[in-house]
Amino acid sequence: MNEFDIVVDAITSRRSVRGFLPEPVGIDLINKILATASYAPSGSNIQPWHVHVVMGEKRDELSRQLLDAHNRKRPESREYDYYPVNWRSPYIERRRETGWGLYETLGIQKGDRQASAQQHGRNYSFFGAPVVLIFSIDNDLQQGSWLDYGMFLQNIMVAARGCGLHTCPQAALANYPDIVKSQLGIDDGRTVICGISMGYEDTDCLANRFRPPRIGLDEFVTFHS
């Protein structure tokens, strides 16, 4: 396999894994992945990222508190709008296709709110991953820095694949920022962006059989000459 094929394989095999093995991930490997990801470009090289690596007892306590808030149906209080305020075509159709595709794989019927809530709650147990990364950004940084941050996050996920790991990026982990900030000592001058659960895939997990479709080049590429 040549260098290009290695990169392509890491990118195209990256997916949101929703079932992990309890097998621990070594700190040296985590550091290698994050150091590699830090080569992401950023405007004027300001490197706006800040990462909290959460494992062990702290991971379990963070999970317990987030799950408790979810199970008590505490209103979510994300610090920014991740999704459109008003959904429209073609994005609403893509969202529904992905959501119902996963639920169909899991045998969850439309209208089964209890099963849907239980599946959503698995976000807060990090799908069993032994490591969760929490990301925050300074409040006074602008949209360009958020673009930079996205490239950093992608680098983490691709680098993890290159090391034989899988990941699940989770906007849901920003739903209760007060809990996350309190547990991890993040001050109010930073916004909690999201989290990434990371570990080794549980290949027996039913949710991991789902593969969301990708749109073709003809739907998002325009050539000019």
- At residue 188 the predicted structure's pLDDT band, cuts being 50, 70 and 90, is very high
No. of H helices and E strands in the chain? Answer: 8, 4
Q: What is the side-by-side strand order in the sheet with 50-54?
A: 50-54, 131-138, 190-199, 166-170
List the domains of the chain with CATH numbers: 17-84+123-210 (3.40.109.10)
**pLDDT per position as a tens digit, 6-33:** 999 999 999 999 999 999 999 999 999 9
Separation CA 40–CA 95 (nearest Å): 28
8 A C-beta contact, residue 127 and residue 22: no
What are the helix (H) ranges across 122-163? 143-162
8 A C-beta contact, residue 163 and residue 131: no
8 A C-beta contact, residue 162 and residue 62: no
Supply the pLDDT for residue 1.
81
Orientation of helix 56-71 relative to helix 177-184, angle to 10°: 160
Q: Which of 52, 73, 44 is nearest to 131 (CA)?
A: 52
pTM listed for this prediction? 0.96
Separation CA 143–CA 109 (nearest Å): 38
**pLDDT per position as a tens digit, 129-161:** 999 999 999 999 999 999 999 999 999 999 999
Sequence-distant (6+) residues with CB within 8 A of 134 are 51, 52, 54, 173, 180, 184, 186, 192, 195
Rounded CA Rg of the chain: 18
